[in-house]
Structure 1
Amino acid sequence: MRDRFRKLAAAGMVLLTAAGLSPAPDAAAAKASRPSGGGLSADIRYTEYGIPHIIADDYPDLGFGVGWAQAADQVCTLADGFVTLRGERSRYFGAAGHPDGTHSSASTNLASDLFFKGIRQTRTVEKLLRQPAPAGPGDEVKELMRGWAAGYNAWLAQRKITDPACAGKEWVKPVTALDVAANAYALVITAGQADVVDSLVAAHPPTAGAPPAPTAPQSPRKSVASVRSHLARDDGGLGSNAVAFRGDTTANGRGLLLGNPHYPWSGGRRFWQAQVTIPGELDVAGGLILGSPTPNIGHNARIAWSHTVSTGVPMNFHQLTLDPADPTAYLVDGKPERMTRRTVTVPVKDGPDVVRTQWWTRYGPVVTEYGGLDLAWTSRTAYALGDPNAAQLRMSDTFLGLGKARNVADVRRVLRRTQGLPWVNTVAADSAGRTLYTQSQVVPRITDDLVERCSTGLGRLLYPAPGLAVLDGARSGCAPGRDRDAVQPGIFGPSAMPTLTDAPYAENSNDSAWLANADRPLTGYPRVLGDIGTPRSLRTRGAVEDVSALADRGDLTPADLQRQQFTNRVPAGDLAAADTARACAALPGGTATGSDGKAMDVSEACRVIAAWNRTVRTDSKGALLFDRFWRRLTATVPQTDLWKTPFDPNDPVRTPRALNTAVPGLATALADAVSELRAARIPLAAPLGEHQFVIRNGKRIPVSGGVDGLGVWNMTVGRWNPASGGYTEVRHGSSYIQAVSFADDGCPVNARTLLTYSQSSNPRSPHYSDQTELYSAGRMIRSRFCERDVLASPQLRVEHVRER
């Protein structure tokens, strides 16, 4: 093993000298197609905080090393996810149980199983794997998946599970490459089919004599608000911030990137940190969503990139006109087409098998609800979901290509070639000092002209604000078209996507592409890709203020980005806290009437909010009070009534502003917030960290940050449990954080990273909470990317792992 390790270490030094050069294509293809013969192996070098640096000879071996190392840290989380993907949750955990919500929106194990069993039964993933590249995944990705499965299985065979969550459980089983591909597919359809699981599996034809479809929704305003909230993931879904700085704003003239994705802190969508290397072929470090064989977000020696959840709507609905004689047939150009029946059987623990039928059309599955919107299947009308991501499995090729990119031009070429990103933007910076923002993602090719010609009444209601198209399914000419540069029918090609290159800063915080740089706004794209000239979120406004000020100041370093990450400034507090405190102090007798009709003494709250430092650091006094007040106020008072100075599209970062303290809801929200905290015995001026925390092995770890509604960059979305002391666990928020720059000499990369929830979900692991403690303290890790730095780690531990 030592001889092999020395050879690999030497090869790694050659790789650094080559700085990302790849071998000839025929050599790479030969490596990718090499059969394992049961002899896959890799070297895993662990440095501080359990971060693995995996070296392998080729793609199957690299996948093997990643699968092994992920199993070592996350076997129970992974195994639970594979139970979901195989449609076996009801068999092991009961039909009425609840999945963790990371693989789909299913509310019960039974709904989840019906959905994923259906995917298995129709061999959807196998068919996509058989598509030749670029329409389907390439050979290198397939070999990575095969190797990952072998590595996971070898760990199960050769190691003992110590995590009490799954030790000795019969549902922990070996996996196949198909399981690994199914995990990738579930991630791809997150914002499409996987977002409507309950509705999809429950849809059934109407019984005889069912009433006709209503001509319009009962509450148009409520429908629009509900869909807008769902698309924006206001219920606590995925999100992110990212910013790239151009070379003339940095201390050494090279690019600089800060990535701050907001992902779940538990379950199958956790990140896991690693460096993966095939000498002379690939050398990239970053965050890998569990089950992924290469980084989804990361850097190599020349390029750093991150992703943010996009506002592009990656799906649409087709309103079907049904055959009057048969509600399971629909008309297209006057001719009836029968729906396809998909009958799925799910074994259930301690009960009989459940058999259900799903209904599919040329456009996709029939569904009956979306984000609170009623899409009733009647004798005249039904609705089918169009999800172009359900017909693609190219995402892993995109991530592998990004790992090999040498500059932002390469990033754009990878995105054009693979077209595999389902619902995210890309922000990148390179060693030459160039920057990139692009919304290159898979979106149905729904132009504003198509909507004008083909929208139904419901579509005309929903498209202008949320951007959700509802097209006339009775006309074949109303299906999404195809761009010449698109690799699959029905989607926009990359040339149609909003893109910003070489701006002093390029930033996104989950608003549309419009203000990726406030001085160079992007316009001219169709509504389905995002809005233009509308109010930005407080998080976007605060981010643009911060990063534009940093760019103007210049001489930036990774230390500046770390400070940005942990400044924990609250833009809502800057805009409204002083006015709130003054309005509070002016209340007669220092009292306000709560929503329960009772008078509450709020005089202490006035003083606490006035003295609050407008941050959500762990030591911030008054942050919790303002948070609970602000949530109530913004939930009850429309944004148009909340501010005295309305939104101005010519001043989108500074408007709206000036809190309207005359709105009656302000005093009520104050009274309710004070009443809530006092009932929970939480002092109004208590430091935030005493009431926003996680508990790891009995130890309480304070957590900083706040929610999107406060505008905080360092997002933390906790579970509110006042009986247990406040926000007692983080649901999702800042996860794999990276601040990356490029050096002039020595190691070409200077990076600081942090995995907020740590590498392992096993409470018996030494890496169960070590990085969480760093996060609590506002610290990050100096990355060991170059071979010499890896070998110099005082905690270096080397494992040579093999299949047999």
Structure 2
Amino acid sequence: MLKWGVAALAVLASVFVGLASWDGLLAEGSVADPYVVHQVRIERDGFGVPHIFGKSDADVSYGLAMAHAEDDFANIEEVVAAVRGRAGAITGEAGAQLDFARGLLQPEVDAARTYGTLSADTRAVVEGYARGLNDWVKAHPSAPRVRGLFPVNGQDILTGFLLRSPFFIGLDKPLAALVKGEPVPRDSGPADERGSNAFAVSAARSEDGVTRLIVNSHQPWEGGVSWWEVVVHSDAGWDFAGALFPGSPYPLLGHNQNLGWANTVNRPDLVDVYKLEVDAGGENYRFDGEWRPLEARRIWLRVKMGPIVLPVPRTVYRSVHGPVLKNDRGYFAIRYAGFGEAGQMEQYYRLNKARDFEEWQEAMALQGVAGTNFVYADAKGHVAMIYNAKFPKRAEGFDWKGVLPGDTSKALWTEYEPYAAYPKVIDPASGWVGNANNTPFLSTAPADELDPAAFPAEWGIETYVTNRAWRYQTLFGELNGPISRAALLRIKFDKGYDRRGWAGRWMAKVMAVEDPALAEAQALLATWDWSQDGEGAADALAANILGKGARAGYGGLPLPDAAVELRAAVAELEATFGTLSPPLGDYQRLRRGRVDLPVFGGPDALRAIYAPVAADGRRVGNNGDGFMMVIEWPTGAAVRSQSIHQFGAATVRARSVHYNDQAALFVAEKWKPVVLAGASPE
């Protein structure tokens, strides 16, 4: 009996060791691109922001990778792990969900097929970036948390783009529903209450003859889609200041000497779901009166559970439409704009290098970026809001917001509308443009707006209006004369809420609750000035209530039970502070390392702060206003710009002074200088 017990323990121990090590032992990186010696110099300014100098653009992207890995390797590694289908080996179940998406979408197959369609100079930049990551890992062999992720090559970098970009155009909503076996939502609107702002004012409308651009993307403050700032300079003419996500070989927004842009996520209907007719054996599907084989593949998800990594099998399918999921409701195919195309890597690089509005629009006409608004400004005084979306050419007669029949080619689109047809507002008479994740038909002054009737219903252009859009429309409308820099920044940092939006509906529901025990809280809320500026006694209670309703209200979902949420708000504030009216600055905080500061604003305010409740009962920011820029082109003078990051340049290096050295400026709504070659900071 004892011998059997020892033997059993030995077997269990060997199984445990095997599960703990099998993933790393079996894994291996890609074949690296041919090695090139890069001539690069990296200098950091007083805030730790890297300035990358190189002879060629590829030299610069190599140095960019080295600098970014120094500041943020943990997030870069997670991007690479997702490219390999091993995100679950690092982050557990959450990563395994991304691995499932990778197995379903097969971005690595599309990357191998399309990589050669990129121009030679774009491939050189992408491969330079991959070499930089490889060399950094060689110099820091203990940094990776799992084995076999490196080396990477240019195709891997493209794979990362192909894997992540569909989720910026709304793939997350139908995919999540199909995985859960739920009905596919008809709404192509916002996934949650987070978003972005962007504004541009022309020299003709500004008070001092300066064209201005506000870059104000809202992203998570940490993780794989958090911003990292960089300035690049090459002898080949690449001079650009801006920010990027882990895994990108170049900035995704910002400015060069002559022009710049900001992005805000849009949500037109760019994803279609098809119900397939499948035979009893699940091996064939009907299409145009014939049976076709349904491709089936087994994928293995690597899921970290404590110290071990467990292999979990899943089966995914593919039809002529695209990836296919099976659930209790049947077999469903997914098709989305930009499916399997590499053009986004080409387009962003060309935008970086554009010298004027004509070249910039030529890059936009590549239609590589499937979706996201572009708000543009330049040295010549042009301003524009481009509702960029790769609209499928869809046939009339189908309910394109619903589930489509998968048995006919009449419902299967294969082409896209041209860039020339996109909704655009260019150089309006009002002299200003803006977007805050809202319908493109509220992009400027009312007299200059686009006509919704000019665009087909099959395009699925969103009609949603965010609180931020209501606010900027009101605030710009109040400026009858020239627009000063100070006035533009007041709009950007506005903390108000409009009663016409979700906040108005939600607060009305809260105030309508009939419960004597909540009368004191309602009386306090009645004094709220509809601004989260920290100047009123009701701001903290309003912050709590707004946080409870924002996600449902912004997403167009049924609002929660107001009585339940108001009772919870009262209990939470009294438990933490002993009062319903603590100062908002005591209740809402920015925390980073030893830095703990008050921060004002709120969900879906132009000064966007998203702050879940922490263990001590306070709201602590984790999303919203983060990396921002104000870019200015004075008439006849060099560009000047300023920026700010909610934390600092050293995004994961907790021991660095630059881990949180911008936080105090950020909460004070101040800026730091950006120095571009030939430019002068204000």
Superposed CA offset, 1:719-760 (max 9, x none): 234x42222241x211221111102355x1121211223222
**How far 1:678 sits from its partner (Å)?**
2.2
Find the partner of 1:704 among 576, 579, 600.
Answer: 600
Find the partner of 2:440 among 506, 513, 536.
Answer: 513
Matches within 5 A, 1:283-682: 283-323=239-279, 325-346=280-301, 350=308, 353-367=311-325, 376-378=328-330, 382-416=331-365, 418-446=366-394, 450-452=395-397, 454-455=398-399, 468-480=401-413, 489-503=414-428, 504-517=431-444, 518-522=446-450, 523=452, 524-531=454-461, 536-550=465-479, 552-557=480-485, 559-572=486-499, 592-593=514-515, 599-603=516-520, 605-606=522-523, 608-617=524-533, 621-630=537-546, 670-681=566-577
**3-state SS, counterpart of residue 338 of structure 2:** helix
> How far apart, CA to CA, are the structure 2 residues paired with 1:583 and 1:729?
24
Residue 216 (structure 2) aligns with:
260
Residue 658 (structure 2) aligns with:
767
Matches within 5 A, 1:25-44: 37-44=35-42
**How far 1:581 sits from its partner (Å)?**
11
**3-state SS, counterpart of residue 358 of structure 2:** helix
Change (3 A) 1:347 1:612: closer
TM-score by length of 2: 0.84
Find the partner of 1:758 among 624, 648, 670.
Answer: 648
Change (3 A) 1:200 1:88: farther
Structure 1: unaligned runs, 5 residues or longer: 1-34, 100-108, 204-216, 218-222, 369-374, 456-462, 481-488, 594-598, 643-662, 794-804
**3-state SS, counterpart of residue 737 of structure 1:** strand
Residue 782 (structure 1) aligns with:
673
Residue 50 (structure 1) aligns with:
48
**How far 1:159 sits from its partner (Å)?**
5.2
Question: 1:63 and 2:19 equivalent?
Answer: no
Matches within 5 A, 1:153-192: 153-158=134-139, 170=147, 173-190=150-167, 191=169
**How far 1:302 sits from its partner (Å)?**
1.4
Change (3 A) 1:156 1:636: closer
Superposed CA offset, 1:9-28 (max 9, x none): xxxxxxxxxxxxxxxxxxxx
**How far 1:491 sits from its partner (Å)?**
2.1
> How far apart, CA to CA, are the structure 2 residues paired with 1:579 and 1:357?
43
**How far 1:617 sits from its partner (Å)?**
3.1
Residue 30 (structure 1) aligns with:
none
Q: 2:509, 2:562 within 8 Å by CA — same for their partners in 1?
A: no
Segment drifting more, 404-413 vs 79-88 = 404-413
Question: 1:728 and 2:596 equivalent?
Answer: no
**3-state SS, counterpart of residue 519 of structure 1:** helix
Residue 5 (structure 2) aligns with:
none
Superposed CA offset, 1:109-156 (max 9, x none): 4343343356669622111212x3xxxx32222111111111122223
Superposed CA offset, 1:565-593 (max 9, x none): 32322334999899979996xx9xxx952
Q: 2:158, 2:345 within 8 Å by CA — same for their partners in 1?
A: no
> How far apart, CA to CA, are the structure 1 residues paired with 2:297 and 2:641?
50
Which residue type is aligned with residue 146 of structure 1? E
**How far 1:201 sits from its partner (Å)?**
7.4
Q: 1:609, 1:626 within 8 Å by CA — same for their partners in 2?
A: yes
Question: 1:715 and 2:596 equivalent?
Answer: no
> How far apart, CA to CA, are the structure 2 residues paired with 1:576 and 1:149?
45
Q: 1:691, 1:726 within 8 Å by CA — same for their partners in 2?
A: yes
**3-state SS, counterpart of residue 273 of structure 1:** strand
> How far apart, CA to CA, are the structure 1 residues paired with 2:506 and 2:301?
57
Change (3 A) 1:189 1:788: closer
> How far apart, CA to CA, are the structure 2 residues paired with 1:345 and 1:686?
51
> How far apart, CA to CA, are the structure 2 residues paired with 1:194 and 1:88?
20
**How far 1:61 sits from its partner (Å)?**
0.7
**3-state SS, counterpart of residue 448 of structure 2:** coil
**How far 1:196 sits from its partner (Å)?**
5.8
> How far apart, CA to CA, are the structure 2 residues paired with 1:252 and 1:776?
27
> How far apart, CA to CA, are the structure 1 residues paired with 2:282 and 2:319?
12
**How far 1:556 sits from its partner (Å)?**
2.4
Number of aligned residues:
640
Find the partner of 1:129 among 115, 135, 143.
Answer: 115
Change (3 A) 1:347 1:500: closer
TM-score by length of 1: 0.72
**How far 1:781 sits from its partner (Å)?**
1.3
Superposed CA offset, 1:545-570 (max 9, x none): 123334x331423x443333323223
> How far apart, CA to CA, are the structure 2 residues paired with 1:498 and 1:87?
37
Which residue type is aligned with residue 137 of structure 2? L
> How far apart, CA to CA, are the structure 2 residues paired with 1:616 and 1:765?
32
> How far apart, CA to CA, are the structure 1 residues paired with 2:482 and 2:175?
48
> How far apart, CA to CA, are the structure 2 residues paired with 1:496 and 1:123?
31
Superposed CA offset, 1:740-788 (max 9, x none): 1102355x11212112232222211211111222111111112212347
Change (3 A) 1:196 1:182: farther
Change (3 A) 1:620 1:260: farther
Change (3 A) 1:788 1:535: closer
Which residue type is aligned with residue 466 of structure 2? S
**How far 1:68 sits from its partner (Å)?**
0.7
Residue 75 (structure 1) aligns with:
73
Which residue type is aligned with residue 525 of structure 2? I
Q: 2:647, 2:662 within 8 Å by CA — same for their partners in 1?
A: yes
> How far apart, CA to CA, are the structure 2 residues paired with 1:492 and 1:394?
16
> How far apart, CA to CA, are the structure 1 residues paired with 2:507 and 2:170?
41
Structure 2: unaligned runs, 5 residues or longer: 1-32
Residue 146 (structure 1) aligns with:
127
**3-state SS, counterpart of residue 48 of structure 1:** coil
Q: 2:585, 2:600 within 8 Å by CA — same for their partners in 1?
A: yes
Superposed CA offset, 1:20-50 (max 9, x none): xxxxxxxxxxxxxxx9753113112211211
Change (3 A) 1:354 1:98: closer
> How far apart, CA to CA, are the structure 2 residues paired with 1:356 and 1:477?
31
> How far apart, CA to CA, are the structure 1 residues paired with 2:258 and 2:334?
41
Change (3 A) 1:634 1:305: closer
Which residue type is aligned with residue 41 of structure 1? Q
Q: Percent identity?
A: 22
> How far apart, CA to CA, are the structure 2 residues paired with 1:741 and 1:570?
28
> How far apart, CA to CA, are the structure 1 residues paired with 2:554 and 2:248?
42
Q: 1:512, 1:530 within 8 Å by CA — same for their partners in 2?
A: no
Change (3 A) 1:343 1:765: same
